[in-house]
Structure 1
Amino acid sequence: MDNLRKGFPVLEQYTYLNTAASGLLHERVWEFRQDHDMDFLIQGSILKEKMGEMLTEVRERLGEFMKCAPNRVALIPNFSYGFNSVLESLDKPKKALLIKNDYPSINWPVESRNFEVVYAELNEKLEDNIIEQIEKEKPYFFAFSIVQYINGVKLSIEFLKQLKERFPDLILIADGTQYFGTEQFNFDTTGIDVVISSCYKWMNAGYGNGFMLFNESIQGKLSPKHLGFGSLQGKYKAHEGNFIGKFEPGHYDTLNFGSLKTAVDLIEQKGIENISKQIDHLKKIARDRFASAGLLEKWTLGRDDFSSLFNIKGDEKLFNNLREEGIITSQRGDGIRISLHYFNSDQDLDKLFRVLKI
């Protein structure tokens, strides 16, 4: 456990239960960033001459970690950039399926374009609602968060596999920002067509970096329109018309993407199995205690597969009280969002429960 907590100085000051808002910067990522900028300070363009080599290493490292061939990994500054790029790549008008009250950066971009939009209700029958809307409305694509940002409701990877098997022509576009970094993920076995993610939350990679993963069959269904000098630079982007290059049109910040590679290396060192095991341990304790105190929406308690993100009943007064006690959380929806990562501990939960008086 000490090995999982080591390297996060914030934990020496606060009980940090807010990864769903912003992940923590590990000392190793910070050290990389210092070294990188020192090199840039004294080398200038000589450092940037190695940009293509570094970005290739990042792409290949991500592909290895996510079980996706590197020529189907695109590097992006954040989820919203990548998702809007995908939406611009789709023919319109088409019918889109969304989850009602999903993350605004998913629903708003779809709603603002010339798509016919239908919704699956977010309730105890979420999976049934999704299937019912697909059968009834026959959407062209389904865009969704793997983990809902307000209450942590999670669509299991097994469900998504089954969904693709049942509706093979439906394009699945998943946001993994509230998911990646919490458990092992094998992209090529999921059935998902496009995965997009920022990496500043559960992957603890800092801001300004993200990625997209594409399955082999999606290229014929997307027509990306972005193009720039960066589109043709580097390994896997050697010729005009290259697919992933059209999601990478400009010069990229080696500071931010080098931070991402360092963060992935750190996850691998700590062990994604160990990370997942610790998260599972904490989230089960938390859900049981929150449920016993009547702090969770009852319909969420019947779900077998759930995340470590919870929305408990509480007002601004409670939120401020938690902050005064050094417990960092977020106000989301009608309650207070608690999010538990691998660097959290039983002692963190004990302090939270004590302040909540549960």
Structure 2
Amino acid sequence: MPSSKPVDWNAVRREFPALANWTYLNTATFGQLPGRATAAVAKHFAHRDELACWDFLAWYDDADRLREKIGRLIHCAPQDVAFAPNASAALGILLAGIDWRPGDRVLTLENEFPNNLYAPGMLERFGVRMAECTWPDFFDSIDESTRLVVISSVNYNSGFAPPLAEIADFLRARGVMLYIDATQSLGALRFDAARIQPDMLAVHAYKWMLAPNGAGFFYVRPEVRQWLRPAAVGWRSHHDWRNVDNLHHGVPELSDSAEKYEAGSVSSALLYALEASVDLLLEIGPDSIEQRVLNLAGRTREMLRELGASVEDFPSQIVAARFEGRDVSQLARSLKEQRVLVSARRGHLRVSPHFYNNDQDLETFAAALSQLL
């Protein structure tokens, strides 16, 4: 359990070496790695060299320990969690396992991240239609042909954060499946899988969860696991795969847990890094982190408005600003020359502070930007 003592944010900041060299307000692109994550990878490879991998099954025991920690973070059981290299892989498993019918429809919001547009769009050969709608039209856009809604917990370019619990309740009452990509929120904003109960939640943990790219996981609701078959099978598909001296030959008998979707070997080194970062998130506490990032985002919005930007208020940690008549891509490049990192996305200057940022970062950013306007 996280300590009830106030968080020493300066000590937390010192865990991130890159912050000594950059004013980094770009976590919506990549999260910075804490030193403990890189140390965990180095420890794993040193351990491999020492033992020549004879204990490789223990690496999977450690992965199960990580499942339990992720379960604590998102409020689910460890058996609900599977590992994947990214959110696209998880979405592919869901799309491959649904018994599509001609005329079925997948719905998403306008300006969604391309993952949520491209993959469902590949289902046209089954007679499945992909549709986009605006947020004000969302609930009215759900009709009898809608089988699946694919949505991000926070929009990658605007910072819009849809009311996930309300959406989930609405869809569940109508028998419509819900897939949530929480890559742009988990690690910054709280998520309660027990309350929201999406059919699948996927996270590529290299942003707000502060892990290396290639480390990801997904949650599969227990009722969905009863019918959702793996998109691929491998030596770990059989429930008794740890019996490596006598691996099962024949049709695999699948586990009841989400582990059955992993098929083959996992990237142990990346999972050790992810575990180290999850430990940090749990030590600080999701409540403290969310309060911190929302406060930083709020101050960022105020600073940008003072500089003449048009900024919308969304309950998220991604701040998107428009400057009339200005090339935001050029602004981002010019800021980088001053060692201030932000992004340009679809006409917005995107600023994305995490808990490791501080007021000095915001002031440095605002001062540098004001010189360019």
Question: TM-score if structure 2 supplies the norm length?
Answer: 0.86
Secondary structure in structure 2 of the residue aligned to 1:45: coil
Equivalent residue number for residue 8 of structure 1: 16
Aligned match for 1:141, one of 116, 141, 148: 148
Secondary structure in structure 2 of the residue aligned to 1:205: coil
Q: Does 1:45 align with 2:58?
A: no
Structure 1: distance between partners of 2:111 and 2:260: 30
Equivalent residue number for residue 99 of structure 1: 109
User: Aligned in 2, Cα 1:90/1:158: closer, same or farther, shift over 3 Å?
Assistant: closer
Shift of 1:48: 1.4
1:167-194 per-residue CA deviation (whole Å, 9 max, x = no partner) reads 3411110000001001222211113221
Task: Give the 5 Å matches for 1:149-164.
Answer: 149-164=156-171
User: Aligned in 2, Cα 1:227/1:354: closer, same or farther, shift over 3 Å?
Assistant: same
Q: Does 1:225 align with 2:231?
A: yes
User: Aligned in 2, Cα 1:191/1:253: closer, same or farther, shift over 3 Å?
Assistant: closer
- Structure 2 letter corresponding to 1:310: A
1:85-127 per-residue CA deviation (whole Å, 9 max, x = no partner) reads 1111112233111112211111101112232112112xxxx1x
Secondary structure in structure 2 of the residue aligned to 1:140: strand
Name the stretch that deviates more: 239-248 or 340-349: 239-248
Are the aligned partners of 1:312 and 1:337 in contact in 2 as well (CA < 8 Å)? no
Structure 2: distance between partners of 1:82 and 1:203: 17
Equivalent residue number for residue 242 of structure 1: 255
Task: Give the 5 Å matches for 1:182-261.
Answer: 182-232=188-238, 233=241, 240-243=253-256, 244-261=258-275
1:212-263 per-residue CA deviation (whole Å, 9 max, x = no partner) reads 112222234533332111223359xx97122524410111121111111111
Structure 1: distance between partners of 2:200 and 2:330: 41
Q: Does 1:329 align with 2:337?
A: no
State the percentage of identical aligned residues: 24
Structure 1: distance between partners of 2:242 and 2:180: 27
Secondary structure in structure 2 of the residue aligned to 1:46: coil
1:63-99 per-residue CA deviation (whole Å, 9 max, x = no partner) reads 1221111111111111111111111111223311111
Secondary structure in structure 1 of the residue aligned to 2:180: strand
Equivalent residue number for residue 356 of structure 2: 343
Structure 1: distance between partners of 2:345 and 2:205: 20
User: Aligned in 2, Cα 1:132/1:76: closer, same or farther, shift over 3 Å?
Assistant: same
Are the aligned partners of 1:152 and 1:311 in contact in 2 as well (CA < 8 Å)? no
Question: TM-score if structure 1 supplies the norm length?
Answer: 0.90
User: Aligned in 2, Cα 1:221/1:140: closer, same or farther, shift over 3 Å?
Assistant: farther
Are the aligned partners of 1:181 and 1:202 in contact in 2 as well (CA < 8 Å)? yes
Are the aligned partners of 1:193 and 1:218 in contact in 2 as well (CA < 8 Å)? yes
Q: In angstroms, what is the RMSD of aligned CA positions?
A: 2.1
Structure 2: distance between partners of 1:52 and 1:97: 37
Runs of 4+ that moved beyond 4 A: none
Task: Give the 5 Å matches for 1:228-307.
Answer: 228-232=234-238, 233=241, 240-243=253-256, 244-296=258-310, 300-301=312-313, 303=314, 305-307=315-317
Secondary structure in structure 1 of the residue aligned to 2:219: strand
Structure 2: distance between partners of 1:345 and 1:90: 45
Secondary structure in structure 2 of the residue aligned to 1:230: coil
Q: Does 1:34 align with 2:48?
A: no
- Structure 1 letter corresponding to 2:163: S
User: Aligned in 2, Cα 1:164/1:113: closer, same or farther, shift over 3 Å?
Assistant: closer
Equivalent residue number for residue 177 of structure 1: 183
- Structure 1 letter corresponding to 2:188: T
Structure 1 portions without partners, runs of 5+: none
1:111-161 per-residue CA deviation (whole Å, 9 max, x = no partner) reads 12232112112xxxx1x3110101x46411100111111111111334334
User: Aligned in 2, Cα 1:234/1:152: closer, same or farther, shift over 3 Å?
Assistant: farther
Are the aligned partners of 1:39 and 1:47 in contact in 2 as well (CA < 8 Å)? no
Equivalent residue number for residue 4 of structure 2: none
Structure 2: distance between partners of 1:270 and 1:81: 30
Structure 1: distance between partners of 2:11 and 2:167: 33
Q: Does 1:308 align with 2:322?
A: no
